[in-house]
């Protein structure tokens, strides 16, 4: 079978990949190769594989046919030459960064990052002689001023976890490229269905596949995509030798199942989040809503330019203090109090004490992460049921504690 799906639509590629490989026994789905090692017909064959002179699988920390099936399918979705699977999103991020950074190099990162990514940069990489510089990448001029010959990587999330700030991927990638640095984008919040950073000039995308790619809250996984040379280096350096953060074949299989409905789920997450964001914005107990699909969102035009839809994540602040916010969250019933995101189930969490507790209070303040910010991952339940739960919980707020809405 040839490369028959190269010009097909996203949903078709999510289900069939590029249609290059026919499965054994006529199976519809790729088989699960639960094998840590692969046998050689002769020692010379093994030696040639170890020397990189012959293609083939010989140990599942390096490659496995089930993982390769997912890698091929995911590369087709990100429009990348190649992709790689990892044991977790952090496994993807650390394997990629360990590959391309060394002592004396600099990484410029946006000010707002997922808590463990921030921690890896500031409490991990920086201990090994890598200079970590935080720059407000929502302002391309700030990157132009900060970037130097030592800068090897420019790294950001868009939208950023948890406050939804967007970064202009085209503008930032162009500045990084002029200076010889690679741009790496964490595309977890959007998935390749809503945003394609590589097409906008980025070099590598990383994902927590734990979220929308898996989509059902039942696995931990990571993915990366980029050009074939970069992905080969990450496979043989960062992944094989430095982290060993290898995905299991069963997880790869579950993610391929998740991908088959990715576009449907993302459309529904986005449509429901739009309704919830608009109703939150109009609610008297809500002070501020940060959602790229709202006209009031500071970067609404940029969102329209670089995202196909606004996604399922909303950040918001209530017209009350932290105790009031906790009371509201504890009153929720259908909506579950949990970290993670992108599941069929709607989840709510408090970044300052949970996902972003890796920042000190001073750092959160300096990095635009308010202590009263709440984060909602809008799931796939009926939107009226999600809203009914929120509206009821908002009513439990003590009216006398309400502060006037900011002008
Ligand atoms: C969370 N986030 O609730 P894993 N990149 C982004 C992420 O949001 C995450 C990762 C990478 C959350 C996890 S907090 C203890 C729970 C934008 C994870 C890391 O290694 O697959 O968890 O991905 O925001």
Least confident of 20-24, 81-85, 94-98, 131-135: 20-24
Please give the angle made by the CA atoms of 307, 313 and 316, to the nearest 5 degrees.
120
Q: What is the mean pLDDT of the chain?
A: 96
Fill in the DSSP letter of residue 240.
I
Q: Enumerate domains of the chain plus CATH numbers.
A: 10-259 (3.40.640.10), 263-401 (3.90.1150.10)
Q: Which of 33, 114, 155, 291 is an active site residue?
A: 114
The answer to whether residue 279 is catalytic is: no
pTM above 0.85, yes or no: yes
pLDDT of amino acid 20: 77
- For the CA of 211, the nearest atom of ligand 1: 21
Fill in the DSSP letter of residue 349.
E
Q: Which of 59, 61, 287, 371 is an active site residue?
A: 61
Structure tokens at 126: 């920086």
Q: Which of 211, 235, 265, 364 is an active site residue?
A: 211
C-alpha distances out from residue 111 to 141, 268, 318, Å: 15, 30, 23
CB of 351 closer than 6 angstroms to any ligand 1 atom: no
Helix (H) or strand (E) holding 204: strand 204-208
The answer to whether residue 139 is catalytic is: no
How many whole angstroms from 203 Cα to the centroid of ligand 1? Answer: 21
pLDDT in tens, 247-299: 999 999 999 999 999 999 999 999 999 999 999 999 999 999 999 999 999 99
């Amino acid at each position: 079978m040839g490369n028959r799906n190269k010009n097909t639509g996203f949903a078709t590629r999510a289900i069939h990949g590029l249609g290059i490989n026919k499965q054994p026994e006529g199976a519809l789905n790729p088989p699960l190769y639960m094998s840590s090692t692969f046998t050689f017909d002769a020692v010379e064959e093994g030696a040639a594989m170890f020397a990189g002179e012959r293609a083939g699988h010989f140990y599942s920390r390096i490659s496995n046919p089930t993982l390769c099936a997912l890698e091929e399918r995911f590369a087709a979705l990100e429009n990348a030459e190649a992709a790689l699977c990892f044991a977790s999103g952090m496994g993807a991020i650390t394997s990629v960064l360990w590959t391309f950074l060394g002592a004396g190099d600099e990484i410029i990162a946006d000010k707002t990052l997922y808590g463990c990514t921030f921690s890896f940069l500031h409490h991990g990489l920086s201990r090994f002689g890598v200079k970590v510089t935080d720059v407000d990448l929502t302002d391309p001029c700030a990157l132009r001023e900060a970037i130097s010959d030592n800068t090897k990587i420019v790294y950001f999330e868009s939208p950023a976890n948890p406050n939804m700030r967007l970064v202009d991927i085209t503008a930032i990638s162009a500045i990084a490229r002029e200076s010889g640095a690679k741009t790496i984008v964490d595309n977890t919040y959007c998935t390749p269905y809503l945003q394609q950073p590589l097409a906008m000039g980025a070099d590598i995308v990383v994902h927590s596949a734990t979220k929308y790619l898996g989509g059902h809250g039942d696995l931990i996984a990571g993915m990366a995509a980029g050009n074939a040379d970069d992905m080969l280096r990450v496979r043989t350096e960062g992944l094989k030798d430095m982290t060993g953060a290898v995905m299991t074949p069963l997880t790869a299989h579950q993610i391929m199942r998740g991908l088959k409905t990715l576009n449907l789920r993302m459309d529904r997450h986005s449509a429901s989040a739009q309704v919830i964001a608009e109703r939150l914005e109009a609610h008297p107990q809500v002070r501020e809503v940060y959602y790229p699909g709202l006209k009031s969102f500071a970067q609404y035009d940029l969102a329209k330019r670089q995202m196909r839809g606004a996604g399922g994540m909303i950040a918001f602040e209530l017209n009350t203090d932290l105790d009031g916010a906790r009371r509201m969250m504890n009153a929720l019933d259908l909506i579950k109090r949990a970290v993670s995101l992108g599941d069929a189930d709607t989840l709510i969490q408090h970044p300052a004490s949970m996902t972003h507790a890796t920042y000190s209070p001073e750092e959160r303040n300096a990095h635009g992460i308010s202590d009263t910010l709440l984060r909602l991952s809008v799931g796939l339940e009926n939107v009226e049921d999600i809203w009914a739960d929120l509206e009821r919980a908002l009513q439990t707020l003590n009216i006398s504690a309400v502060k006037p809405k900011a002008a």
